[in-house]
């Protein structure tokens, strides 16, 4: 019976550990993680909600050397941009006009950008705003609690050709994009192909759910055993 007494503690500890691991890995990310110099790349930013309250706004800083050219309109999200002194987009913000990203959900936004012309690592600083006014700054280095996403710009062999590349495709994107004042939504932006989410977050979340259910079952079993012992 000593084992039965310890089951709730063991199960709860295991579930809590894996649940924490799942949350810790659910970072704001920008994909692809590898691209080519001077390419016109379709990027996807993925935002998971880690709290029990909705995410209502996300701001992404455009890294130095990267030119954001167009973005995909998203229902129930207002998209605004800020520009620097040279007239280039320095940040883009997605602001929820509806319910936002609920607890346990994630949202993806697509945009097209022109990569730097040389090999480098570009860091995507992002700011996640919750409904209660709290902000999570994804601006830290790798290994920190809130790291920014990194895209490696390289000519290394084996790097897949980007979906959008070449001067002609870029010129088409620029012509279609409205060059209005910052803060206007570009409704004529071309729709990039849907991004495929191959991250490990979904696997971790599934494992967390399975272990949590197992912990609940073990707790029920131990409770039944305890009641049976008292009746004896």
pLDDT digits (tens, 9 = 90+) for 107-131: 999 999 999 999 999 999 999 999 9
Burial of residue 12 (number of CB atoms within 10 Å: 0-12, 13-18, 19+) = middle
Residues whose CB is less than 8 angstroms from the CB of residue 32 and which lie 6 or more positions away in sequence, other chains included? 41, 43, 151, 162
Single out the residue of 177, 198, 140, 217 nearest to residue 40, CA to CA: 177
Residues whose CB is less than 8 angstroms from the CB of residue 209 and which lie 6 or more positions away in sequence, other chains included? none
pLDDT digits (tens, 9 = 90+) for 20-48: 333 345 699 999 999 999 999 999 999 99
Q: How far apart are CA 152 and CA 119, in angstroms?
A: 8
Burial of residue 161 (number of CB atoms within 10 Å: 0-12, 13-18, 19+) = exposed
pLDDT digits (tens, 9 = 90+) for 168-180: 444 444 444 444 4
pLDDT digits (tens, 9 = 90+) for 86-105: 999 999 999 999 999 999 99
Q: Which domains does the chain have, with CATH numbers?
A: 27-198 (2.60.40.2230)
Long-range contacts of 216-220 (CB under 8 A, 24+ apart): 216/11, 218/7, 218/8, 218/10, 218/11, 219/7, 219/8, 219/11, 219/12
pLDDT at 186: 44
Exposure on the CB side of residue 97, measured as CA atoms within 13 A? 8
pTM, two decimals, is 0.62
């Amino acid at each position: 019976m000593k084992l039965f007494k310890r089951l709730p503690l063991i199960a709860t500890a295991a579930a809590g550990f894996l649940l924490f691991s799942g949350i810790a890995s659910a970072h704001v990310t920008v994909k692809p993680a590898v691209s080519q110099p001077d390419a016109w790349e379709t990027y996807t930013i993925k935002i998971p909600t880690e709290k029990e309250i909705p995410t209502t706004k996300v701001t992404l800083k455009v890294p130095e050397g990267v030119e954001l050219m167009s973005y995909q309109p998203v229902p129930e999200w207002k998209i605004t941009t800020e520009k620097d002194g040279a007239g280039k987009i320095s940040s883009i913000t997605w602001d929820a006009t509806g319910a936002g990203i609920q607890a346990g959900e994630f949202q993806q936004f697509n945009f097209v950008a022109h990569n730097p012309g040389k090999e480098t690592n570009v860091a995507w600083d992002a700011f996640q705003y919750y409904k209660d006014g709290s902000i999570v700054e994804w601006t830290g280095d790798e290994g920190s609690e809130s790291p920014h996403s990194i895209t490696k710009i390289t000519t290394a062999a084996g790097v897949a050709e980007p979906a959008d590349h070449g001067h002609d495709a870029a010129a088409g994107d620029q012509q279609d994009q409205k060059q209005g004042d910052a803060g206007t939504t570009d409704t004529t932006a071309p729709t990039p192909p849907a991004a495929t989410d191959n991250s490990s977050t979904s696997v971790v979340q599934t494992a967390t759910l399975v272990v949590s259910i197992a912990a609940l079952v073990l707790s029920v079993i131990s409770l039944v055993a305890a009641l049976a012992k008292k009746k004896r």
